[in-house]
Structure 1
């Protein structure tokens, strides 16, 4: 494997690390959006429960005002306010039923059934009281008081449960934020350590060490020390190419040294022959 491919593989590992961090970030966003959806729903349900409870209390107060109205004008005002609050209750419950999901669907449906009975009786009370029959209207209200108290208690129970869900959603979001921050830190630190170790290993094992060996072999060859064995002369990567070139250079140097030695030996023999001739 060439140095280029090894370095590209290292770069690819960094890309994989970045991709992993991106995936973790996307998963975090998905989980956060899910929890925020739960939080928003819990907040909306808590508001609806409190608003419904307030409307029930307003209906009761308007009914009591209707019982003691001094004239037809006051009766009409109290009856109008009462009907307007009942209309708002119907709209609120219709929206709540439409948006309800899961386990809250049955709870909202049960609450709507009791609210329908409450609304029907209170509309009748508004009709009778608005017509001026305050005593009959009061009798209707008094007779229905235990049912109204039970209904309002159920509304308050729903409000309490929605607040519990809201608290749980907020706690989950806070816990998730803290946990995911730690996970991000640990994952990032682990990735950095792994990639740093991998980079050091690749550079040391595939770049620094081979180049140091090549440099040592070149220096020894240049000094005439041909005993050092040459490595990796059979590969196709850059380091092997340098070793192959060095092997050729070594062979040429050895051949040159042999030729030089042979030439010197021939010159020495010629010189000896010349001396013998001169001495004779």
Structure 2
């Protein structure tokens, strides 16, 4: 069982079930294209050790350029990318992986995820990516947007346990059943959209807690994710916000206020797609 590990600093890490050590905090770059390289370089200069990209984001090249621009060694920065599962199955996954490595200007990616349980060939692709891991192209293999049924299906197929499951997580979308299953089966939970894509920064409850703590609403939402022990990747397209988004480690949200924020999940709301309930047939996990 995975215990909840709360990051105490921007460089805090967690050991995944395959032994790979991963930062608990980083930058998400969804919808960051024109200034991706500059933003990634600025994030690394600020102290960020983790960058989260994806084939679907069309900015793996920007991440690679930003890393090069930063002057940091490749092994000092942990990069996550994802393959968008399609009917191409294993062939598509391996093609996307090679494109990813080319864009990153690297011979490996630290963590590679199946972006969602879709495309009809996830099991086939997962096996192919496990082979790529053995070849050194992938350090750690995980999944994203997988529900409990999908994780159980991987286990029933006798496939290696994913190291990470990345899912939408914020006070209005807590996915407690998935989080519970992952922690019981030593799968590290990584949350995306901790800021709910900005839709809730004006929320009255969050605002009141932020005022009480002399923090911004964004910092409260990011701290909520950190305090739950999730790998947290707030996205911003503005370098000016990198530091404030990372100023969430020398304070905490009081227990009573955490309970108030947790109660917001009683009426679940999602800021994005939610494929966690896709059928096993749609995923190709039967």
Give TM-score, length-normalised by structure 1.
0.20
Give TM-score, length-normalised by structure 2.
0.19
Q: Which has the higher helix share?
A: 1
Which structure has the larger Rg? Answer: 1
Bigger RCO of structures 1 and 2 (CA < 8 A, at least 6 apart): 1
Q: Which has the higher strand share?
A: 2
